[in-house]
Amino acid sequence: MARTCRTSPAFILHVRLQLPVVALAFSCVAWAQSDSLAAFNTTLEGVVAKVAPAVVEVQATGQSTRFGDGNDDDNSNSTPSKSERFIGSGVILDSSGYIVTNAHVVSGAKSLTVKLDKDATQGSRPDETSSTTFPARLIGEFKEADLAVLKVEAAQLPTISFNTNENLRPGQLVVALGSPAGLQGSISIGVVSTAGRQITPDGHVAYVQTDAAINPGNSGGPLVDIRGQLVGINSFFITQGGGSEGLGFAIPSRLVKFVYETIRRTGRVSWADIGVRVQGVTPTLSLGLRLPRDSGVVVSDVIPGTAAEQLGIKAGDFLSTIDGQPVENLPKYYEAMYHKGMGDKVALNLIRDSHRISLEIPITASMGDVDHAAAESNPPSNLVPKLGILCSEVGTMPRIETAQLRSKTGVLVEAKAVGGDMQANLMAGDVIHSVNLTSISNVAQLQTVLDQVKSGTPIVLQVERKSQFLYVPVDEN
């Protein structure tokens, strides 16, 4: 049966009576929203007013080849480059003129200048002038965390305080300040995407990721919360088109505070060395080395003569906990080592072939920036097509060269060849000691072991590079 839709007079009267009530309700919601937006706007203005005077522009002057290209190779035949100025940002952390910025902003600079915000000069300064620009000196830098501390001769400067709790959550509002493209006092607002983003498996830092706009020139500037407290130092962004695409990364304030205080106290940052070298675990490393998890930290090398060697730690051991705390990634490992000093002990829990090993190891040395001499290499010889490398056997090398090696057997990478069925991050001077835990003593054996690996099976090489061991995963082209 067909039905028609009709509306009764009573219903019409009911609707007419309710319309004013509905309109009033919508008006109340609109007023409430307006009040909320006005309150948020006032709060945001207050945050900027509080923070902006403590944000500085850092001007680093040096050779043009030093800036922007990331290439430190020495080319003695190149034409001398012109002096160039690089602009970044910084944060005043002490009213006497101590400033934190990125190490990449100031590294290699011949001279440094800091330009203060116009509202930062209300305090007294030694020269009693109205200038907002000061020469700065580098107190120290910690390249592993991309942080540096500068000093200007000034007094009563505004500062930014640390967020000591740092309980950042995805969606939390944050504000980025700095001098992108030299535009001092630029501000952008966004949210925290994640509080601990590890960009590469072997990086020292787990970053605060944000969608707040970060562009060239923001480097070294602050990322603050809605209370105006420092939650990170803006360091870099990832882009496909060259501009900000909502993928910005800041060094967390907990690490910034540690580096800042350590450099002020000692002029440099060192961390505990227990005689091992470690790498971040990837799915390929996990499968190739038969590790218990596809993330975490694995021991890649044990330094001869150290307590770690004496206690029986071995390359391939999976690091489960440090002092009872899980070691989820490499930044967690280094964070634990940063806070250890000479004479302290570290409690380790390792997993080896499904067996748990617990031990306590003393701190006997510290690590810092280490510059190793480049490894020497011989003329190319045997081609290993699968890896696209030219190799020779360690036993055929001159004695003076083998004396520098910690293991006297293996295959030396002489050079990279064109092509190759697989890709591996190998370089001239590397010595391949094993493939998927199978020891290699000559080129023929390397060829045979590679040929025996079934298609789709992960391949992990153990390599000695500049007197240290590491694991190198191999990918198919």
Query: Which residues carry out catalysis?
Result: 104, 146, 219
Selection from 330, 292, 245, 315 nearest residue 468 by Cα: 315
Say how far apart CA 454 and CA 452 lie, in whole Å: 6
d(CA 295, CA 223): 29
Return d(Cα 132, Cα 458) in angstroms, integer: 58
H or E element, residue 11: helix 9-51
Residue 199 DSSP code: S
Structure tokens at 368: 């810092």
- How far is Cα 473 from Cα 8, in angstroms, rounded to an integer? 77
Where helices occur in 100-175 by DSSP H, the ranges are: 103-106
With residues binned 3-state (H G I as helix, E B as strand, rest as coil), the percentages for the chain, rounded to 5, are 25, 35, 40
Cβ proximity of 158 and 132 under 8 Å: no
Rounded to 5 degrees, φ, ψ at 120 are -90, -5
What is the SS3 assignment for 334? helix
Q: Which amino acid is at 66?
A: R
Cβ(112)–Cβ(136) below 8 Å: yes
How do beta strands 431-435 and 411-416 pair?
antiparallel
Tokens standing for 232?
């990170």
Q: Three-state DSSP class for 117?
A: coil
CA 188 – CA 426 distance, rounded (Å): 41
Q: CB burial class (10 A; 0-12, 13-18, 19+) of residue 401?
A: middle
**Total residues found in the chain within this entry:** 477
As given in the structure block, the two tokens for residue 99 are: 């400033």
What is the C-alpha to C-alpha distance for residues 207 and 421, in angstroms, rounded to an integer?
A: 35
What's the farthest any 2 CA atoms get from each other in the chain? 107
Paired tokens of 154: 């000034």
